Chains A and B, each alone.
Chain A
Amino acid sequence: DAKTTQPPSMDCAEGRAANLPCNHSTISGNEYVYWYRQIHSQGPQYIIHGLKNNETNEMASLIITEDRKSSTLILPHATLRDTAVYYCIVRGRGGSNYKLTFGKGTLLTVNP
């Protein structure tokens, strides 16, 4: 699986958009970009995933660059409960590629 690079920490004001970047310059054509988050002491929570196109769901938006070498997770109106470690993961398809390889992620702190 391709390696990802994320900033170790970011701050965001409550109510503002949080934009979390991720670099995955070695991603291959059949690999997806997944985002998970982990709130303290809880299991990782799935947020969103995408292959080529931008994606949006009730939690967030995912913007993938045209060359697919980087992406941005957008939380449109961050709340205090969004404080968590956010993981950007590149995941292949099929067989053992279903496993997730977690890096260190980005600690997002939402401030009042």
Chain B
Amino acid sequence: DAGITQSPRYKITETGRQVTLMCHQTWSHSYMFWYRQDLGHGLRLIYYSAAADITDKGEVPDGYVVSRSKTENFPLTLESATRSQTSVYFCASNPLGDQPQHFGDGTRLSIL
């Protein structure tokens, strides 16, 4: 089925480890986004990408790395995880123009 999928859905890891969250969309949307959601802060933008090989920082990019070698994939990497990065992470995409952004089901990440 067409859509946007995130993996894994749940992840537990330890501080200092590297972890990669995957996002895959089948719509060939140009724009992709990573948000994190924490109690008291709502959803905050981490990084976004306008097209393959084009990425830019959002509101809270520190500690995260992204890449976009293919239009359909937008992985988010925590190079050295910290407890403050425990959160729910959402990926989203939208095409050019004023069409709505669509979200994945999220990845719940716990860092011990």
A interface residue numbers (CB < 8 A to B): 32, 34, 41-46, 49, 93, 95-96, 98-105
Contacts and interface: CB of A to CB of B under 8 A. Distances in A.
Contact of A46 (B44, B50, B90, B101): B101
Contacts of A105: 42
Nearest to A30: B98
B103 A99 contact: no
Contact of B50 (A44, A45, A93, A95): A95
Contacts, number: 47
**Interface core residue of B35, B50, B101 (most chain A CB under 10 Å):** B101
B94 A44 contact: no
B77 to A, nearest CB: 20
B48 interface: yes
Contacts of A100: 33, 43, 45, 92, 101
Interface of B: 31, 33, 35, 42-45, 48, 50, 56, 58, 90, 92, 94, 98, 100-106
A101 B44 CA distance: 7
Return the 9 tightest CB-CB contacts between A and B, nearest first. Answer: A43-B103, A46-B100, A102-B43, A102-B42, A44-B103, A98-B31, A43-B105, A99-B45, A43-B90
Nearest to B42: A102
Nearest to A47: B100
6 contacts: A32-B98, A41-B106, A43-B92, A44-B90, A44-B103, A101-B45
B98 A46 contact: no
Given A44-B90, A102-B42, A104-B42, A96 B56 contact: yes
